[in-house]
């Protein structure tokens, strides 16, 4: 594997792509330290410190993770790429339900560019709306238990904050597209991954503090516990890799065709059905919904409403039950959007393809739906386990959520998936120039 990394810099084209990508990521990380005017950063950091160290969370905690910690400092990149991700998901949903958008999406490269342009417009709208509510949230003393976060609240502060955060989000979207065109890997995903990994030094520092002797002479964590956690982390990464790459291959046979005077022999191929089609999207949707009441309760000083929101906070059995059901629902929901068995069956029938033992047409669609429903259940249950794992780690080993989040949840799923995708693209360049890839036998498979 080390030789593969060395070979990456022997190919001029690949070397240029890697250096360009690293330069964009460095520019992104620099922007995460440029503050927004008018905000007391020290007091805001204290608020997010409570979010990271307590069992409760909020939508702002999710946004802070996706922005690489920029939200807790309220820098120009505080919104991160969340508006772009939300806009992309919304466009996917609308494309599946609106015939006009579905027709545009099937127009090839021209349709892709048009849908992408709509996604950019949606990103701008979502950025303005989110930054406006963040500005109102920052001015609210009730949200921060009487602490004044903004030095000079008012229309001027709201205007400056909306312009700063919206432009920062659009700039990140542009940087991600530049990586996509001139760099290596998926630009938006790499920016998210860089932000998540940036929290690793703070998590490692917290672990060392837990290992250091306290005033009583003992330590909160024993070295054996750290060793167990390391083995546990390796097992989580391996299991996520296996599930991310797992496929159910449905064999497809194409009959012999006669076109003019030419006779084309029959071909055998397969349809790869992913065990985990939704990936991290199901967790993002579920987290946003389950944490919304707790976030709303911080704005509404009503004891009855806050009491109801307390039932949906981490540590309560109702939270985990609803959270798990939401993840399973969104796994099936997203899978139904991106894979339509009826369309696949019709395309196979049109080109003379069939699944051995299954009649073309409606029976093929029913068979694909039958298989996909069952393998999606296995993937959804696995995603549920991974999503709840940080809370289990926190309760079992008595570590802060900042440390536990690297043993499961959204962050680990994103990191593993993006690294696999990037390594596959690098490996394709290496193999094309007759170099060995990262694996001596076999090849890496990317995500769909």
DSSP string across 264-306: EPPEEEEEEEESSSSTTHHHHHHHHHHHHHHHHHTT---HHHH
Whether residue 447 has pLDDT greater than 50: no
First to last CA, the chain: 24
Alpha helices in 212-280 (DSSP H): 223-245
Separation between Cα atoms, residue 419 and residue 405, nearest integer Å: 18
Residues 320-330, mean pLDDT to the nearest whole number: 88
**Which DSSP symbol is given to 407?**
G
What number is the average pLDDT over the span 354-358?
Answer: 86
d(CA 130, CA 312): 23
Q: Which of 67-81, 193-207, 242-256 has the lowest mean pLDDT?
A: 67-81
Taking a C-beta distance cutoff of 8 angstroms, is the pair 32, 68 a contact?
yes
What is the rounded average pLDDT of the residues 6-17? 84
Residue 23 scores a pLDDT above 90: yes
| C-beta of residue 271 within 8 angstroms of C-beta of residue 34 | no
Confidence of residue 445 (pLDDT cuts 50, 70, 90): low
Looking at residue 424, its pLDDT comes to: 84
Read off the tokens for 288: 């946003």
**236/211: higher pLDDT:** 236
Q: How far apart are CA 394 and CA 409, in angstroms?
A: 12
Are the beta carbons of 373 and 335 closer than 8 angstroms? no
Confidence of residue 436 (pLDDT cuts 50, 70, 90): low
Q: Taking the CA of residue 163 as centre, how many other CA atoms within 13 Å lie in the half-sphere pointing to its CB?
A: 7
Burial of 89 (0-12, 13-18, 19+ CB in 10 A): middle
* Separation of alpha carbons 86 and 339, rounded Å: 20
Given a cut of 50, whether residue 55 has pLDDT beyond it is no
pLDDT at 90 over 50: yes
pLDDT at 216: 53
Q: In what order do the strands lie in the sheet with 353-354?
A: 267-274, 247-254, 353-354
Is there a contact between 170 and 127 (Cβ–Cβ < 8 Å)?
A: yes
The span from the CA of 136 to the CA of 165, in Å, is: 13
Q: Where are the alpha helices (DSSP H) in 141-186?
A: 155-182
Q: How confident is residue 371, by pLDDT bands cut at 50, 70 and 90? A: very high
Residue 255: what pLDDT?
Answer: 73
Per the listing, tokens 């792509």 go with 17
d(CA 198, CA 191): 11
CB 288 within 8 A of CB 59: yes
Segment 144-153, tens digit of pLDDT? 666 677 878 8
Question: Range with the lowest mean pLDDT among 24-33, 184-193, 364-373?
Answer: 184-193
Of 13-22, 110-119, 199-208, 404-413, minimum mean pLDDT range:
404-413
Alpha helices (H) in 58-145, listed in sequence order: 59-66, 70-73, 82-97, 99-105, 109-139
Domain 11-198, CATH: 1.10.3370.10
* b (16+ CB within 10 A) / e for 284-322: bbbbbbbbebbbebbeeeeeeeeeebbebbbeeeebbeb
Nearest C-alpha neighbor of 164 from the set 42, 66, 74, 83: 74
Q: Count Cα neighbours of 214 within 13 Å in the Cβ-side half-sphere.
A: 8
Prediction pTM value: 0.79
Percent of the chain with pLDDT over 70: 80
The predicted pLDDT at position 144 comes to 66
What's the pLDDT tens digit per position in 232-252? Answer: 888 888 888 888 888 888 888
> From residue 370, how far is each of 25, 103, 340 by CA, in Å?
43, 27, 12
Tell me the average pLDDT across 201-229: 75
For residue 175, the model assigns a pLDDT of 92
CA angle at residue 44 from 204 to 150, to 5 degrees? 160
Closest CA to 19 of 156, 179, 254: 179
Phi, psi of 298 (to 5 degrees): -70, -20
Is 121's pLDDT higher than 90?
Answer: yes
Q: What is the pLDDT of residue 316?
A: 73
Select from 2, 78, 87 the least CA-distant residue to 41.
78
Q: Quick one: pLDDT at residue 376?
A: 92
Cβ(368)–Cβ(190) below 8 Å: no
Q: What's the confidence (pLDDT) of residue 56?
A: 44
Closest CA to 313 of 72, 59, 20: 59
Tell me how crowded residue 200 is: count the other CB atoms within 10 A of its CB.
13
The predicted pLDDT at position 222 comes to 77
């Amino acid at each position: 594997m080390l030789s593969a990394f060395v070979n990456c810099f022997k190919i001029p084209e690949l070397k240029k792509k890697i250096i360009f990508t690293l330069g964009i990521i460095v520019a992104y990380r620099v922007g995460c330290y440029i503050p927004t005017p008018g905000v007391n950063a020290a007091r805001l950091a204290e608020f997010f410190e409570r979010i990271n160290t307590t069992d409760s969370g909020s939508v702002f905690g999710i946004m802070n993770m996706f922005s690489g910690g920029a939200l807790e400092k309220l820098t120009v990149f505080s919104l991160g790429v969340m508006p772009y991700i939300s806009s992309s998901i919304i466009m996917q949903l609308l494309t599946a339900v609106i015939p006009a958008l579905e027709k545009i999406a099937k127009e090839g490269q021209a349709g892709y560019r048009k849908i992408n342009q709509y996604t950019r417009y949606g990103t701008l709208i979502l950025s303005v709306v989110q930054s406006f509510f963040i500005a109102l949230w920052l001015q609210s003393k009730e949200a921060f238990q009487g602490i004044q976060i903004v030095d000079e609240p008012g229309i001027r502060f709201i205007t400056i904050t909306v312009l700063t955060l919206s432009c920062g989000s659009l700039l990140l979207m542009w940087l991600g597209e530049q990586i996509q065109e001139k760099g290596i890997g998926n630009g938006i995903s790499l920016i998210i991954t860089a932000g998540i990994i940036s929290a690793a030094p703070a998590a490692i520092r917290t672990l060392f503090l837990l290992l250091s002797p306290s005033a009583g002479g003992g330590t909160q964590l024993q070295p054996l516990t750290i060793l167990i956690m390391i083995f546990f982390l390796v097992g989580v990464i391996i299991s996520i890799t296996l599930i991310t790459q797992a496929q159910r291959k449905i064999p497809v046979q194409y009959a012999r065709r006669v076109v003019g005077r030419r006779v084309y022999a029959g071909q055998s191929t397969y349809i790869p059905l992913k065990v985990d089609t939704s990936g991290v999207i199901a967790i993002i949707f579920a987290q946003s919904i389950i944490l919304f009441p707790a976030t709303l309760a911080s704005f509404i000083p009503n004891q009855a409403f806050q009491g109801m929101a307390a039932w949906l906070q981490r540590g309560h059995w109702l939270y985990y039950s609803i959270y798990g059901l939401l993840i399973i629902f969104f796994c099936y929901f997203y899978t139904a959007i991106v894979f339509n068995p009826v369309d696949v069956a019709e395309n196979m029938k049109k080109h003379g393809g069939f699944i051995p033992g299954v009649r073309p047409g409606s029976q093929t669609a029913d068979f694909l739906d039958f298989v996909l429903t069952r393998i999606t259940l296995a993937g959804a249950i696995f995603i549920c386990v991974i999503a709840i794992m940080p809370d289990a780690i926190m309760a079992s080993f008595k570590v802060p959520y900042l440390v536990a989040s690297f043993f499961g949840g959204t962050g680990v799923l994103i990191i593993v998936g993006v690294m696999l995708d990037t390594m596959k693209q690098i490996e394709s360049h290496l193999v094309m120039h007759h170099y060995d890839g990262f694996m001596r036998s076999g090849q890496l498979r990317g995500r769909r």
